[in-house]
Structure 1
Amino acid sequence: MGIAFIRTLILYAVVIAAVRVMGKRQIGELQPSELVVAILISDLASVPMQQTGTPLTSGIVPILTLISCEVALSGLTLLSSRLRRVVTGRPSILIQNGQINQSEMRRLRFTVDDLMEELRLCGYMNVTDVAVAVLETNGKLSVFPSCAKAPVTAEMLHVQCPPDGGLPTTLICDGKLFPESLRAAGKNRDWLEAILSTQGVTVEGVFLMTVDNLDKTIIIKKDGGALSSARAAG
């Protein structure tokens, strides 16, 4: 039992490392070659995990080989657009100016039901509401609405937008201060203590605290499991 436990931990660590090497894509965004590698890795890891008589290297070596091949192939596809098209394919336009590309749908074996389902998931009920729909190489449908169905933007209304504060930096999470984030935001401990004192809370009493490039600070306090929020300008 102990040997099986240790072998499982080792294989678990190897598979996690292998997936990390492959990159940060989600399962639904994997390219075909990456999906194949992910499936093969799970099969290769399950055999030595279940059969303690099988050498551990019989699972680890093939996994490392697959990852090496995948990394090498990814590097080659960066250098050759032709190889990239062979390995990952190319995007396909299924709708152009509200017209369905029927020949392309037949080539891809993409049914009308599949198309309408994807459009509904994107918030469109009619094909005529769509200007362009592109089936990406990862199998997802990118939908661009027609001018009449496009959401109104500030540019259309000629509205002057306020300055963007950028991505907020997390300073405190669950009562723990991140000094490196505080330095990255260009702040110091004195500034932090001053902001917290205006809210009547300490670092340990903060569930989440963020600050953006415009010094807009958001503080969510701990309150016996309940959350309350406060905003302050730095």
Structure 2
Amino acid sequence: MAEQLEVILRSIGSFCILLIGAKILGKQIIAKMTTYDFVAFISIGSIAANLAFNTSLKFYNLLISYAIMIAILFVAAYVSMKGITVRRFLAGNPTVVIENGKILEENMKKMRYTLDYLNQQLREKDIFEISEVLFAIVETNGALSVQKKPHFRHATKQDMGIFTTPESKLPIELIMDGHIVETNLKENNLTHNWLQVEIQKRGLSVKEVFYAVLATNGAVYIDTYKDHIESPIDKE
């Protein structure tokens, strides 16, 4: 029983230090990973796993190892911000694989990047003809960025000379899960009375609202708990 209790406590401790490590390293830890990130976080995961259940290893030794790994990553991230040479060494460089509709085979060979995978990533961007592509670049995290040739791009309002209202802020969430988001109201100088009026315009009360957001155009979108849809298209 004592060993099981130790595993429980170690697992809780492992989760806590992983959470602390993630906070220290920032959002990069949950972004798409470069080769460097992959190696680093696999190492951290292995240490944390051993910390959780490997009772043959001393807890404080694993904790020291984990702290050293976090410190290395933190320093590497800091140095990367200061110098492009270090950043390129750790993360690598983007690689052009298509230029003006032509596949650059030599660049693909250097990365061991296959034609099948290239076609797959192009299809994921709704591109089925390589001749449509002006440039395709494999980013350091493995994602494919594509710029189509001008005559294959979607026309924008600017291209068509259509006037658009400037937008200078993000949508503001007013109600989430039936609860008023007080901080968003305060930060944007919005009052409860104003929100009540917007809800009452639709014959509703706050308790009936699941989600409400103020759009960039000034319109308020409201979703209620009761959708009044008799036959949902997709029902779990």
| Structure 1: distance between partners of 2:92 and 2:105 | 19
> SS state of the match for residue 158, structure 2?
coil
Identity of aligned residues (%): 22
> SS state of the match for residue 115, structure 1?
helix
* Contact 1:165-1:214 at 8 Å conserved across structures: no
Evaluate the alpha carbon distance shift between residue 186 and residue 214 of structure 1 in structure 2; reply closer, same or farther with a 3 A threshold.
Answer: farther
Quote how far apart the aligned CAs of 1:69 are. Answer: 0.7
Are residue 138 (structure 1) and residue 151 (structure 2) matched?
A: no
What pairs up with 1:1-234 in 2 under 5 angstroms?
1-25=4-28, 29-164=32-167, 166-223=169-226, 226=227
Quote how far apart the aligned CAs of 1:73 are. Answer: 0.7
Match of 1:231 in 2: none
| Structure 2: distance between partners of 1:196 and 1:117 | 46
| Structure 1: distance between partners of 2:6 and 2:201 | 56
Pick the structure with more strand per residue.
1
Give the letter for the 1:81 counterpart: I
Indicate the larger mover: 8-17 or 214-223.
Answer: 214-223
> SS state of the match for residue 159, structure 2?
coil
Quote how far apart the aligned CAs of 1:52 are. Answer: 2.5
Quote how far apart the aligned CAs of 1:136 are. Answer: 0.6
Give the letter for the 2:201 counterpart: T
> RMSD of the alignment, in Å?
1.9
Q: Deviation above 6 Å: which 4+ runs of structure 1?
A: none
| Structure 1: distance between partners of 2:64 and 2:141 | 28
Quote how far apart the aligned CAs of 1:26 are. Answer: 6.5
Give the letter for the 1:73 counterpart: A
| Structure 2: distance between partners of 1:77 and 1:51 | 34
* Contact 2:12-2:52 at 8 Å conserved across structures: no
Q: Deviations over 1:83-103 (max 9, x none)?
A: 111111111111111111122
Evaluate the alpha carbon distance shift between residue 81 and residue 165 of structure 1 in structure 2; reply closer, same or farther with a 3 A threshold.
Answer: closer
* Contact 1:207-1:221 at 8 Å conserved across structures: yes
Quote how far apart the aligned CAs of 1:56 are. Answer: 1.8
Q: Gapped runs of 5+ residues in structure 2?
A: 230-236
Give the letter for the 2:92 counterpart: G
Q: Gapped runs of 5+ residues in structure 1?
A: 229-234
* Contact 1:174-1:204 at 8 Å conserved across structures: no
Indicate the larger mover: 165-174 or 9-18.
Answer: 165-174
Match of 1:232 in 2: none
